Amino acid sequence: MSGELLLTLLAALTLQAPTVPAGAPAAADTLGVGTARAEGGDFPPVGREAIEALTFPPLVFEPPEAAEHEVLGIPVYHLHDPSLPLVDFFVQLRGGAGHLSREELAAATALPAMLRTGGTSALPPDSVDLRIDLLALQLSLAGGGGGTFAGLNALTHTLDEGMDLLRDLLIDPGFDKETLEVWRGQEAEWIRRREDDPGSLAYSEFNRLMFGDHPTGWIMVEEDLSPERLSRERLRDVHGKLICRDRLILGVSGDLTWEDARERVERFLEPWPECDGTLAEPPHPEIRAEGGVFILPKAVEQSTVVMAQPGGILQGDTPEYFASRISDHILGAGGFTSRIMSRIRTEQGLAYGASSLWTSSRRYEGILGAVTATRPERTVEATRLLLEIMEEFRGVPPLDEEVADALSEIANSYVFAFASASQIVSRRMAYRAQELPDHWLERYLEGLQEVTPGSIAEVTGTFLDPSRMTILIVGDPERFDPGIEALGTLYELSPDGSYRPWSDRP
């Protein structure tokens, strides 16, 4: 119900005269209102005046916090929520493919899936699945360049058995041979079909183009799936490097007090092996900075355009970082109200979607740029417009209203970060894994409030330079509109990552 309709209904109810027997005093007289009116005295407000006179205490949002504990030297975050007889148990393991060599990429990528589906030394895969069903568990494992994450959701009375099963999957995996071959086949099929999805192809090739021989730029190839690089022995070697006690962060939320949770966490941790050594830190990437226009020819009905330059910003508690977040929101990451979406889609009708991107990490800079997809015949027009929008934004203070709207949109989404106890706990674990302050979300919002149009102009004037953009276009060059030569030096890019001057094409 809208606010205006609610006011109308309340006013109508307030003004409606009750039905009374003949000869009885009016309701207003019964209340003394009629006498007060006749004598010029005070009387309570009615209608809209009564509604507008209502006062309410200010809303104060005090989000629940996860408590931090230590069990057997391992950090554990806990938040009690007895609303349902359910418990979430989380395991974060720091270290992934980004900490290993290129030859270990396939094994590190396969590891989370094989931990979940490859059984244990005592149970074959189908028995593990049956046990998960019988105990009504939800169990998942996922991984990336920075680590492995496992999640278990269980009824309170089946939690013990669920935690035992998860522990066995993690530290005593079976790496079933047939399951491994299934994974190898699925990955080989993905490699063969990679070019069938122009959007995914564009993003993976762009990462390789920008980051080169760095984990961010690595792409799986058939050689990675060879028995030498992907075998049960290689999996066990990678498992020993990544799945060990010193890399753990744990979390518990739901229908379990800390007293009850602690003894279960201790039992979960006791058999875990110590780590053999320290993992190498991921190398700092040498991000491409010399620009250029790379065309990956593909006869498709939509061109994908990706462009970026080195971002120059590290994630951290600095004015530049916070200003870059608001800048990105106003420029293109804020959806329909952003400048890029307004111009590209709403005004010019060049694309269904378009956005900016400004990535960063704690250790090294990311990239700054924009993406869109459009008809082949308007490829150059859309690309040129993206560059123009960024040039107009560079070093110029945005409107006060743009900054206020961006802050409001981000702040209004704040409460959704506390929708569940499990969400709160897993976020605290993620902050710990990324070496961010425990209350980073709160500090992040405070830092955004300090951003001004002037600080945005300063950060975009310092770091944003459209002339340095590396531009990748996946599409049909035979159908491109004229003028692509004016965008920069042209190259033809191959799906294997190699490229040559456009003029050298046969």
CATH number of the domain residue 262 falls in: 3.30.830.10
Q: Are residues 307 and 165 in the same domain?
A: no
- Total domains present in the chain: 3
Q: Are residues 309 and 447 in the same domain?
A: yes
Domain assignment of residue 60, yes or no: no
Distances (CA, A) of 226 to 107, 188, 202, 485, 497: 11, 10, 26, 42, 20
Q: Are residues 245 and 333 in the same domain?
A: no
Beta strands across the sheet bearing 292-297? 354-360, 365-374, 303-310, 470-475, 292-297, 490-493, 499-501
Please tell me the distance from the alpha carbon of residue 422 to that of residue 253, in angstroms, as a whole number. 5
Q: Are residues 143 and 73 in the same domain?
A: yes
Q: Are residues 95 and 191 in the same domain?
A: yes
Per-residue pLDDT, 17: 41
Q: Are residues 40 and 73 in the same domain?
A: no
B/e letters for 221-253, b = 16+ CB within 10 Å, e = fewer, are: eeebbeeeebbbebbeebbebbbbbbbbbbbbb
Domain assignment of residue 96, yes or no: yes
DSSP labels, 47-115: HHHHHHT---PPP------PEEEEETTEEEEEEE-TTSSEEEEEEEEE--GGGS-GGGHHHHHHHHHHH
Q: Are residues 48 and 77 in the same domain?
A: no
Q: Are residues 358 and 499 in the same domain?
A: yes
Query: Per-residue confidence of the chain (506 residues) as pLDDT tens digits?
Result: 444 444 443 344 344 444 444 444 444 444 444 444 445 556 778 888 888 888 888 877 777 899 999 999 999 999 999 999 999 999 999 999 999 999 999 999 999 999 999 999 999 999 999 999 999 999 999 998 789 999 999 999 999 999 999 999 999 999 999 999 999 999 999 999 999 999 999 999 999 999 999 999 999 999 999 999 999 999 999 999 999 999 999 999 999 999 999 999 999 999 999 998 788 888 899 999 999 999 999 999 999 999 999 999 999 999 999 999 999 999 999 999 999 999 999 999 999 999 999 999 999 999 999 999 999 999 999 999 999 999 999 999 999 999 999 999 998 888 788 889 999 999 999 999 999 988 899 999 999 999 999 999 999 999 999 999 999 999 999 999 999 999 999 999 998 899 999 999 88
Residue pair 171/273 in contact (Cβ under 8 Å)? The answer is yes
Instruction: Write out the residue range of the structural domain in which residue 437 sits.
Output: 292-504
Domain assignment of residue 61, yes or no: no
What count of other Cβ atoms lies within 10 Å of the Cβ of residue 11? 16
Per-residue pLDDT, 445: 93
Domain assignment of residue 57, yes or no: no
Q: Are residues 216 and 144 in the same domain?
A: yes
Domain assignment of residue 75, yes or no: yes
Q: Are residues 263 and 300 in the same domain?
A: no
Domain assignment of residue 58, yes or no: no
Q: Are residues 135 and 232 in the same domain?
A: yes
Domain assignment of residue 167, yes or no: yes
Per-residue pLDDT, 70: 97
Q: Are residues 437 and 496 in the same domain?
A: yes
Domain assignment of residue 59, yes or no: no
